[in-house]
Structure 1
Amino acid sequence: MTTLDRNQNKLDLSQILEVLSDGSLPIRFTAYDGSETGPDDAPYGLHLNSERGTTYLATAPGDLGMARAYISGDLEASGVHPGDPYEILRVMSEDIHLRRPPARALAAITRSLGWELLRPIAPPPQEHLPRWRRVAEGLRHSRTRDAEVIHHHYDVSNTFYEYVLGPSMTYTCACYPNQDATLEEAQDDKYRLVFEKLGLGKGDRLLDIGCGWGGMVRYAAKRGVKTIGVTLSREQAEWGQKKIAEDGLTDLAEIRFSDYRDVTETGFDAISSIGLTEHIGVHNYPSYFGFMKAKLRDGGLLLNHCITRPTNNSRARAGGFIDRYIFPDGELTGSGRIITEIQNLGLEVRHEENLREHYALTLRDWNRNLVANWDAAVAEVGLGTAKLWGLYMAGSRLGFERNVVQLHQVLAVKLDAKGNANVPLRPWWNG
């Protein structure tokens, strides 16, 4: 006999969860109405502590509603630190299989909750506007709208990012030379890999598009490369310029608060784009890679490093949680689509590789940093935002581990008029 058969009149919250999950729960669930379900000795648990949380869950089923309830404090997790809820997310994703109930069960759930709890309410303040309401910021991937969504994500607080990212201030996938490497060693190795793939040397000129806080800019400048970095985040640009001055690199390095399309210089020996393509919009790839081609000298190399999907025919737009809380207007596609667009412009792809597992390790270490600096992080940005970041990074780690998303580096060269690449016959970098 099912929960629904046992109680035809009204279901409590734990019974509703049993109906939605077929009753197979690996975690302990308790709720403000006094109901509970799941093993008493489960290592992890969830407590729903308010009607507002029920409304969030009911009006936005899936990851968006869960995020709203969790960030607002209406849904609390036990057995994990709020800066790293990876383990409970892992167990829930592996062993809880929510389903859409049949019409009879859905009607019973609706009747049990009541229309008052099913009326949508304002989301937590950390949430960005839905896509249809962003038109006031301009068309999707217009300059003004791109600037606004970059501000939403990257101008949280430089101090907060220092707590999460560590001394490198690098918010992109690291490259771990071995399983025991530290985050800082892995980020340095990523910059080394990009530098060597681009064949850079003293006296060369590098353009770094979407440079963040300038990690690649400073790495190249320390090795004698004249480097320009551009970012749409004012806080990143100010932090990066200050660091350049502290390192005595002002003669070689510059970070501009600017749209990359406003760079007027040409004839670069190399261009790096590390973690920007996700914000460009798939339909803008031709102009994006075309811009890079126009800025390179003949024989110049470009390296594109970005998150991708494992296939090339899936939906490009991000899901509800990522779009509303993390990367508004973000779009992902497969590495094949990226390579195709680069090739269609006449650039020659020389190498590509997937660093998917490296990003899972990177996110693991960012979560560890957040946990280690939790009190300071909460004081800096507030509990809701700190919990948001813990949730986002832990969930993303699962995505990379399970091949929901990947991280690809694609290396291409601008051929000369005779079709010469003028690069060594075999890979010239230390992998």
Structure 2
Amino acid sequence: MTTLATQVSIAEALTTVLPDGLPFRFTAYDGSAAGPEDSAIHMHLASERGLSYVLTAPGDLGMVRAYVMGDLEITGVHPGNPYELMRLILDQFHFHRPRAAEALRIIRGLGWNHLKPPPPPPQEHLPKWRRTFEGLRHSKARDKSAIHHHYDVSNTFYEWVLGPSMTYTCAVYPHAGASLEEAQFEKYDLVARKLDLKPGMRLLDVGCGWGGMVRHAAREYGVTALGVTLSAAQAEWATAAIKREGLQDLAEVRYLDYRDVPERDFDAISSIGLTEHIGVRNYPAYFGFLHDRLKPGGRLLNHCITRPDNRFRNTGAFIDRYIFPDGELIGSGRIITEAQDAGFEVRHEENLREHYALTLAAWNENLVAHWDEAVAEVGHPTAKIWGLYLSASRAGFEHNTIQLHQVLATKPDARGDSHFPLRPTWGS
């Protein structure tokens, strides 16, 4: 126990590291409080275990641990869509790192006993240094484990969140009032138009998810399409959807690492949401493989989340431990450079970050609409993690801390001809 002479309240400690104050009401189990009393959003630290989570993992990881375990309670926002809280944090949180003496005073005042880390929530993935038993980073075995952690949650859960299209990538909204399904159709069609797909062509879709692009290309363009995914659950769902739509003669999805695709001479390759999982150091091999699998004059469309700059840094602890283990992001400049160095000619790129914010808002709405079913399917902690992740990502795209780029490239033939028209033909 701390003495009265050295005791520090939890609210006092919090306001010390947030000198500009809190944009919402905060209370703690020790009776202390901070922030506007009339705020619609209220955060309550309910237990000593919650304080230990926060102190032993400063930043987003400790807060998330306490939230997932129920030690940090949030009211005033739906757990399936805490976007307003995420927006306030990005807009108004200005963290001040205390000096060593000040930090020591705070820790001593809160109690040294709170520096013993409680066990992390069972939903949390191992830290990077403990994942080595799965293999080296971005080895085939470790990539399979990382994909399983995120994408094999539950196909039923994903159906509720993603909607009928079962598309877990940025949609393209043709107009402000478009529905999510209209926007996902437009995204696939934009990719198809950029690739200039025509009946009889062969398409490879790497990291194909639940087969949305594969089915769209086969159904709408008469293309023979092969998709590959490292998620067994995705491959099973996609194969059933292909049969349901009667596309077996044109479309196929395999449970396979893209690096193990044996076929060559594809007319087009689409990569929609895979590059984030590749690892920046592996870009030369990644683009080299795709270049090798294309026929001369073929096109590649690379669609992925990016940073607004080209400085490499790891993703935050929350994203790495709970969402995308081993995921890495970099700017579009690095992606274009690596594609060019692999032999591609880059012909077009565009940033769709506002579209991803709209997409995430729609997924949050779907989660809220199916909240009770989602909780029954995956449990309350996992459902809360998804609400937090989707809303925080939406705020990130709106605040330009992350972006979404499509890069269109061609493989010139031996004479340097890219078989590309004088002007783009795909429209807006």
TM bracket, shorter-chain basis:
over 0.9
Mapped partners of 1:273, 1:318: distance in 2: 21
Please point out which of 212, 218, 239 is paired with 1:241. Answer: 239
Q: Which amino acid aligns with 1:230?
A: V
Aligned twin of 2:78: 81
1:220 is aligned to 217
Say whether 1:142 aligns with 2:139.
yes
**Aligned-partner Cα distance in 2 for 1:224–1:343:** 30
Per-residue deviation at 1:263? 0.8
Q: Which residue of 2 aligns with 1:4?
A: none
Question: How far apart, CA to CA, are the structure 2 residues paired with 1:40 and 1:337?
Answer: 47
In the TM superposition, what are the counterparts of 1:371-382 in structure 2 within 5 Å?
Answer: 371-382=368-379
Q: State how far apart, in whole Å, the 2-side matches of 1:277 and 1:301 are.
A: 17
Alpha-carbon separation, structure 2, partners of 1:408 and 1:355? 6
1:302 aligns with 2:300: yes
Deviation at 1:12, TM superposition (A): 1.5
- Aligned counterparts of 1:263 and 1:155: Cα–Cα separation in 2: 22
- 2: CA distance between counterparts of 1:240 and 1:283? 30
1:289-332: CA deviation from partner (whole Å, max 9, x where unpaired) = 111111111110010000111111232x2121111111111111
The residue aligned with 2:367 is 370
Within 5 Å, give how 1:137-176 maps onto structure 2: 137-176=134-173
1:285 pairs with 2:275: no
Q: Is the 8 Å Cα contact of residues 353 and 404 (structure 2) preserved in structure 1?
A: yes
Q: 1:104 to 1:360 in 2, by over 3 A?
A: same
Instruction: Using the TM superposition, give the Cα deviation of residue 258 of structure 1 relative to its aligned residue in structure 2, in angstroms.
Output: 0.4
Separation in structure 2 between the aligned mates of residue 360 and residue 23 of structure 1, nearest angstrom: 27
SS of match in other structure, 1:170: coil
Structure 1 contact 17–23 (Cα < 8 Å) conserved = no
CA drift at 1:98: 2.3
Instruction: Give the corresponding residue for 1:187.
Output: 184
1:184 CA drift (Å): 0.6
Match of 1:394 in 2: 391
Counterpart for residue 3 of structure 1: none
Question: Whole-Å Cα distance in 2 between the matches of residues 128 and 281 of structure 1?
Answer: 18
Q: Which moved more, 1:56-65 or 1:90-99?
A: 90-99
Aligned partner letter, 1:92: I
Structure 2 counterpart of 1:275, one-letter code: G
**Do 1:8 and 1:108's aligned partners in 2 also have CA atoms closer than 8 Å?**
no
Identical columns (%) = 64
Question: How do residues 9-408 of structure 1 correspond to structure 2 at under 5 angstroms?
Answer: 9-22=6-19, 24-222=21-219, 223-315=221-313, 317-408=314-405
Q: Is the Cα contact below 8 Å between 2:20 and 2:94 reproduced in 1?
A: no
Is this contact kept in 2: 1:14–1:37, CA < 8 A? Answer: yes
State the TM-score, normalizing by the size of structure 1. Answer: 0.97
Give the TM-score of the pair, scaled to structure 2.
0.97
Residues in 1 aligned to 2:135 and 2:182: alpha-carbon distance in whole angstroms: 41
3-state DSSP of counterpart to 1:395: helix
The alpha-carbon deviation at position 31 of structure 1 amounts to: 1.1
Letter in structure 2 aligned against 1:427: P
What's the CA shift for 1:122?
1.4
Deviations 1:199-255 (A, max 9, x none): 001111100000000000000010210000000000000000000000000000000
Tell me the alpha carbon deviations over residues 177-203 of structure 1, each in whole angstroms, 9 at most, x when there is no partner. Answer: 111111111100000000000000111
Q: Distance in 2 between matches of 1:422 and 1:26?
A: 55
Relative to structure 2, which stretch is displaced further, 268-277 or 102-111?
102-111
State the shift of 1:23 in Å.
6.0
CA contact (8 A) 1:311 1:333 kept: yes
Deviation at 1:370, TM superposition (A): 0.4
What is the number of residues matched between the two proteins?
424
Structure 1 residue runs of 5 or longer lacking an equivalent are 1-6
Q: CA deviation at 1:8?
A: 5.2
In 1, Cα distance between equivalents of 2:7 and 2:183: 55
Structure 2 unaligned regions, length at least 5: none
